[in-house]
Structure 1
Amino acid sequence: MSRVLLSRLPDDRVRVVDGGAEQVVAITDLPAYVRERETDPSGPPRWVWDDTARWYAPLLAAGVRVSRCHDLRLCHHLLRRAPAVDGGLLAGEQSDLWDRLRPAVPTEPALFSADDTAEHLRADLEDARQLAAIAASAEPTRLGLLVAAESAGALAAAEMTYAGVPWRVDVHERLLADLLGPRPPRGGRPRVLEELMDEIRRLLDSPGLNPDSQPELLIALRRAGVEVKDTRRSTLRAVDHPAIEPLVRYRRLAHLFQTNGWAWIDQWVSDGRFRPSYQPAGSTTGRWSSNGGGALSFPVQVRSAAVADEGWVLVVADVAQLEPRVLAGMSSDQALARAARGADLYQGMVDDGAVATRQDAKLGLLGAMYGATSGESGRMVAGLTRRYPEAFGLVEDAARAGERGQVVRTLLGRGCPALGGSWDESPEAPPVDLEGQDRHRRAYGRFTRNFVVQGTGAEWALCWIADLRNRLWRLVDAGPLDARPHLVFFLHDEVVVHAPAELADAVATEVTAAASTAGELLFRDLAIDFPLTISVVQSYADAGKPGTTGAADPDSSGPEHPSDLS
């Protein structure tokens, strides 16, 4: 497969290296050039560029869809941390700029960043270094699959931002009005919140109380004889006082107003679409994050506003018990893999005779992945370790490595942050006393224990959406991205596809086939089931309800090589 390298030049120009040929193209001519190469009879190339979000947004706005890419920024940071890679091979001209390069946040389609220090990075130099580092590693095939999936995920993220989640502003505003009252003036509270605030002040005998201020609220509660350490909902509900019910309701509605109220609609919804900005590999495990709009945590209260267009549907699919299944596959634990065959892994463990109840299975398996050592979960872990030694031994080895200060890696080779680095996202320096250091190392061991599984789960999910985006594109022979079935949402183990109603069954089949393909790519030597719950709905709020779930065809041929993914 040919690689076409794009580098930004001054004066709105782009340096293009295509095979052995080099040319300079004006920005305005780039979409036509990319469209022509994408339709080349020999097949589309792999586009190599510094940051997918920066390059792909204007191409999508011009109606150009890209099949494959290599995201140099994402892959640079991935390879820098990969234990199997010699970091010295990534050093060279401009490498310090690649170290500092941050993701672009697409707003209006624009190719160039205002950051001059990273404006004119040479793609050819960095691409050569990355290819050499992968080739020289002990795991070139796994790392090749990982960078392909990571880059394909970046394409999917840009496409989802471009297409947007179909969103009914009238439904959302009606919901807000029903719960909060009319839209308040800028800076004011809605009527219902004002009424609840007055009631809370009266019941706590605190006329000037601001219930949004935790210090003020704690003082008012204690003055009223309510001794609590915090104002969490679970803490408050355990208290018997007439102010608690309106206070809990106030906090719930205030959260809705602040996070998904009218200001959220104004900022994030346009032309009937919610357009968040996804950040692939936004967390240390490789999971995505969101730069705004709360895309990765749709509140239940507003899901009814995510409504498919007329004549279209939302196909919602989520995989059951992803991380336990991934643990079975990456550890090659035959017994746990056998339990994972079917829709319910935990029930499979019961049927296998490993535990008495499904709850015992769940407690034990989640306890092993998250480091439970006491209570019922800890007792379950001890028993199940003897039944599933490979799976439970893998996470235990990762925890012990972390406690020794060693880094661990996912199945495909993503490395975790080092002890004392950003692994805990804590601004404080590591403790220096011996007891504090011991606690810090145990905490790091719990992190590495979960990192290997959660990170590999993220790799499975990347392979899933990488294959799925291409399968969806091939369902229709012609038309732009948003006129075909297309991804509009992705959350760790769930995808949402916006599709013409007549193609719903075909989409469900492809979603299931892509999940099977992802399992085959990661766990070639061990068959692991990844059963999906699939709902075909008009509103996202209805996903998973009775009458919306259907089975998809599990047969899949799947790509034969990692490069076929992206």
Structure 2
Amino acid sequence: MDRVLLRRRGDAVAVHEADGAVAEVPADGLAALVRERERAGVRWVWDDTTRWYPALLAAGVRVARCADLRLCAAVLRGSPHAGPGPAADPGWAALEPVTADDPALFHLADPADALDPVAEDRRQQAVLAASPQRARLGLLLAAESSGALAAAEMTHAGLPWRADAHDALLTGLLGPRPPAGLRPAVLEALAGEVRATLGAPELNPDSPAALLQALQVAGLPVEDTRSWTLERVEHPVVAPLLEYKRLARLLAANGWSWLDAWVRGGRFRPVYLPGGVVTGRWASSGGGALSVPVQVRPAAVADDGWVLVVADVAQLEPRVLAGMSADTALAAAARSRDLYAGMVDAGVVATRAEAKVGVLGALYGGTRGESGRMVPRLARRYPRAIGLVEEAARAGERGAVVSTLLGRGSPPPGAAWAERDADLGEAPEPRGRDSDRARRAWGRFTRNFVVQGTSAEWALCWLADLRNRLWQLGEGRLEERPHLAFFLHDEVVVHAPADLADDVVAEVRAAAATAGRLLFGEFPLDFPLDVAVVRSWADAG
């Protein structure tokens, strides 16, 4: 497949062909060029998907494959699998994605214009070619770039969202929308109840310092105002205060201001940031896309004649751990739809709760209480799986970099772990209780990094394959076909015509199977999905 690189050149676009030829097209002619070349199959190479793809989508052009140099540079910069090669221009590390809601192709004073994508692409190809894990690392770069395409498409298409339903939900929970600067009626009533119960008529319950002082003056034995702290206290103020905090969080995160800012034209259009977390998980730029609470999900309603296909994979991280470590015993438990129940059926533990606590302890370094009691039992039955995370933890404690299955590297430990001695020019072992604590904490981070990061890679491969499968199910522009509307770590929401729902479900499952094979080959490992076809996201359960 040809690689065609696009580079801004004044008010035009330079098109660099695989054979070295360079042509130039005006900016307003790019969409037609890309549409024509897509018919033959091409991998577009560009500095950053957020700078190119929104304008193409706005013109009705969908891209199948790309190489996102910004994202790939970040992966290669931290990967222990990257081969030797020329040093990267530091400008690539400083380049930020474009997160403004603006599909324009050219942005004034864009720092990307100071970079040389031709040289960077050549450098990246050399580093990849010299990698001892070229196949795995190449898959990661392709998946990361495809994730950038999916992210832009989901922002473009949006998640169907009924503003009137959202407003009705807020009104039912909080009372009518108040004037700017005032609390809704329900919150104001709860605030009054809290003040009266504490005998603090001037208390602002939104001020943690003032609230803590009022609680302590009233004789409550609390050191903070967190909900889980208050839940352990018996006092008449606890119930109204917890309800106030719950509703205040909803108002702040997904209230009327959120509705005004993020829902337009019947769509919730968050801005996703692929690779926004060091493990490779996504982040979002405003809108809280990765934490949409269940209270407002009834507002996510499919268009007339359409449905939402909601799918999430069961217990992704322990299944990925089984595949990474090639632990056949844990993989056998994973062949049950409920991996934890499979562990019980195998006689490893007595209850599902013990299985879950033990697995979470292994993944996150739990050494005390019930999880500390369960992990040694799991280690005897699943030595390869538990050995893998233990090895990652010990490596982190030594200050070493660990990597995911495909090659995303963990960041090096910070100064809290060890400080370089300027005179000796070496990093001595940390000393003292604080250093030991920091070292163990970093070991817990690297223990989870390898599994969480590989889980993110599985999800990226699932997403990459699924977006292409969905494209084949319909005709017309992206938003006229079944398309991805939302993604959250191990869950996808597809907006699809109702008559194609069964086909979409089949493709969602097939893409999950493909992702498993891409990462783990023929190792016998299942990734069962919970799939629901619904009108409203809230009905998916």
With structure 1 as the length reference, what TM-score do the two structures score?
0.91
Task: Say which of 189, 197, 214 aligns to 1:195.
Answer: 189
Aligned mates of 1:240, 1:339 — CA distance in 2: 43
Matched, 1:489 2:483: no
CA contact (8 A) 2:38 2:64 kept: yes
Corresponding residue of 2:477? 480
Q: Deviations over 1:478-513 (max 9, x none)?
A: 210001000011111100000011111110000000
Corresponding residue of 2:354? 360
Larger CA deviation: 251-260 vs 404-413: 251-260
Matched, 1:272 2:266: yes
- Once the two structures are superposed, the pairs formed by residues 117-196 of structure 1 within 5 Å of their partners are 117-196=111-190
Query: By how many angstroms is 1:195 displaced?
Result: 1.8
Aligned mates of 2:434, 2:250 — CA distance in 1: 39
Aligned mates of 2:184, 2:532 — CA distance in 1: 35
Unpaired runs of at least 5, structure 2: 418-427
Larger CA deviation: 46-55 vs 183-192: 183-192
CA contact (8 A) 2:58 2:103 kept: yes
* 1:445/1:536 CA distance change after superposition, 3 Å: same
Corresponding residue of 2:30? 30
CA contact (8 A) 1:9 1:120 kept: no
Aligned mates of 1:104, 1:119 — CA distance in 2: 13
Q: Deviations over 1:237-271 (max 9, x none)?
A: 22222222211111111111111111101100000
Larger CA deviation: 344-353 vs 273-282: 344-353
Query: By how many angstroms is 1:432 displaced?
Result: 7.3
Q: Deviations over 1:466-486 (max 9, x none)?
A: 00000000012x210001000
Query: By how many angstroms is 1:199 displaced?
Result: 1.8
Letter in 2 for 1:474: Q
Corresponding residue of 1:533? 530
Larger CA deviation: 199-208 vs 231-240: 231-240
CA contact (8 A) 2:430 2:436 kept: no
Matched, 1:222 2:216: yes
Corresponding residue of 1:338? 332
Which secondary structure state, in structure 2, belongs to the residue aligned with residue 310 of structure 1? coil
Larger CA deviation: 489-498 vs 232-241: 232-241
Aligned mates of 1:90, 1:169 — CA distance in 2: 52
Larger CA deviation: 528-537 vs 109-118: 109-118
Matched, 1:238 2:228: no
- Once the two structures are superposed, the pairs formed by residues 380-391 of structure 1 within 5 Å of their partners are 380-391=374-385
Unpaired runs of at least 5, structure 1: 424-429, 545-566
Corresponding residue of 1:18? 17
Letter in 1 for 2:509: T
Aligned mates of 2:162, 2:291 — CA distance in 1: 18
Query: By how many angstroms is 1:90 displaced?
Result: 4.4
CA contact (8 A) 2:42 2:65 kept: yes
Matched, 1:369 2:363: yes
Letter in 2 for 1:242: P
CA contact (8 A) 1:315 1:535 kept: yes
Matched, 1:263 2:257: yes
Corresponding residue of 1:282? 276
Corresponding residue of 2:447? 449
Letter in 2 for 1:503: L
Task: Say which of 242, 251, 257 aligns to 2:245.
Answer: 251
- Once the two structures are superposed, the pairs formed by residues 423-442 of structure 1 within 5 Å of their partners are 434-442=432-440
Which secondary structure state, in structure 1, belongs to the residue aligned with residue 521 of structure 2? coil
Aligned mates of 2:35, 2:391 — CA distance in 1: 49
* 1:494/1:116 CA distance change after superposition, 3 Å: closer
Percentage of pairs with the same residue: 64
CA contact (8 A) 2:47 2:112 kept: no
CA contact (8 A) 1:112 1:119 kept: no
Letter in 1 for 2:148: A
Task: Say which of 69, 82, 85 aligns to 1:89.
Answer: 85
Q: Which runs of 4+ in 1 moved over 3 A?
A: 113-117, 430-433
Letter in 1 for 2:17: D
Aligned mates of 1:181, 1:447 — CA distance in 2: 43
Which secondary structure state, in structure 1, belongs to the residue aligned with residue 290 of structure 2? coil
Corresponding residue of 2:5? 5
Aligned mates of 1:89, 1:291 — CA distance in 2: 33
CA contact (8 A) 2:361 2:372 kept: yes
Letter in 2 for 1:466: A
Corresponding residue of 1:551? none
Which secondary structure state, in structure 2, belongs to the residue aligned with residue 119 of structure 1? helix
Letter in 1 for 2:12: R
Kindly tell me the number of residue pairs found equivalent between the two proteins: 530
Which secondary structure state, in structure 2, belongs to the residue aligned with residue 507 of structure 1? helix
Aligned mates of 1:422, 1:63 — CA distance in 2: 50
Which secondary structure state, in structure 2, belongs to the residue aligned with residue 254 of structure 1? helix
- Once the two structures are superposed, the pairs formed by residues 453-472 of structure 1 within 5 Å of their partners are 453-472=451-470
Aligned mates of 2:406, 2:16 — CA distance in 1: 29
Letter in 2 for 1:532: L
Which secondary structure state, in structure 2, belongs to the residue aligned with residue 487 of structure 1? strand
CA contact (8 A) 2:67 2:141 kept: yes
Aligned mates of 1:364, 1:226 — CA distance in 2: 35
* 1:487/1:328 CA distance change after superposition, 3 Å: same
| Superposed CA RMSD | 1.6
CA contact (8 A) 2:416 2:438 kept: no
Which secondary structure state, in structure 2, belongs to the residue aligned with residue 496 of structure 1? strand
Aligned mates of 2:459, 2:66 — CA distance in 1: 18
Larger CA deviation: 106-115 vs 166-175: 106-115
Aligned mates of 1:338, 1:90 — CA distance in 2: 45
CA contact (8 A) 1:14 1:26 kept: yes
Larger CA deviation: 20-29 vs 274-283: 20-29
Aligned mates of 2:270, 2:133 — CA distance in 1: 35
Aligned mates of 2:91, 2:105 — CA distance in 1: 18
Larger CA deviation: 107-116 vs 287-296: 107-116
Letter in 2 for 1:22: V
Aligned mates of 2:119, 2:193 — CA distance in 1: 66
Query: By how many angstroms is 1:383 displaced?
Result: 1.2
Letter in 2 for 1:462: L
* 1:67/1:111 CA distance change after superposition, 3 Å: same
Corresponding residue of 1:564? none
Corresponding residue of 2:420? none
Aligned mates of 2:13, 2:235 — CA distance in 1: 67
Aligned mates of 2:234, 2:373 — CA distance in 1: 35
* 1:422/1:490 CA distance change after superposition, 3 Å: farther
Letter in 2 for 1:155: L
Which secondary structure state, in structure 2, belongs to the residue aligned with residue 5 of structure 1? strand
Letter in 2 for 1:15: A
Corresponding residue of 1:102? 96
Aligned mates of 1:207, 1:104 — CA distance in 2: 47
